[in-house]
């Protein structure tokens, strides 16, 4: 009984701080690197990829340079954000 109460408490705490991102077709994302890596290697791909199919929480992502499509869970994706907006230049 204590185990179930603790599990419920842990889930509530986890859900409170976790976002639930949704992506659309055409959104650019970075994907998690699953190959063997060392401590200083990046966790996510260096080149952006594009979403081609949406079945939340699983997305089909196409690599821009090779055209290879692969399925990823939403927790393995990070959105590409721009450091500046091109329209804001004077």
When the pLDDT of each residue in the chain is averaged and rounded to a whole number, the result is 88
Q: What pLDDT is recorded for position 46?
A: 85
Q: What pLDDT is recorded for position 47?
A: 86
Question: What is the arithmetic mean of pLDDT over 24-29?
Answer: 92
Three-state SS string across the chain, please?
Answer: CHHHHHHHHHHHHHHHHCCCCCCCCCCEEEEECCCCCCCCCCCECCCCEEEEEEECCEEEEEECCCCCEEEEEHHHEEECCCCCCHHHCC
Question: What is the arithmetic mean of pLDDT over 26-50?
Answer: 89
Please check the confidence at residue 59 and state whether its pLDDT lies above 90: yes
Q: Which domain holds residue 67?
A: 21-82
Note whether 54 and 24 are within 8 A (CB). Answer: yes
Q: Provide the CATH number for the domain around residue 25.
A: 2.30.30.140
Judge whether 1 lies within some domain.
no
Judge whether 52 lies within some domain.
yes
Domain count within the chain: 1
Cis? peptide before 57, omega within 30° of 0: yes
Please check the confidence at residue 90 and state whether its pLDDT lies above 60: no
Judge whether 71 lies within some domain.
yes
Judge whether 7 lies within some domain.
no
Please check the confidence at residue 65 and state whether its pLDDT lies above 70: yes
Judge whether 3 lies within some domain.
no
């Amino acid at each position: 009984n204590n185990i179930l109460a603790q599990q419920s408490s842990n889930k509530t705490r986890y859900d409170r701080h976790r976002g639930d991102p949704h992506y659309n077709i055409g959104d650019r994302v970075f994907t998690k690197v699953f190959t063997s890596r060392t401590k200083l290697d990046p966790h996510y791909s260096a080149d952006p990829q594009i979403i081609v199919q949406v079945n939340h929480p699983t997305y089909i992502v196409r690599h821009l340079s090779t055209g290879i499509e692969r399925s990823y869970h939403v927790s393995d994706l990070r959105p590409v954000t721009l450091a500046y907006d091109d329209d804001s230049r004077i």
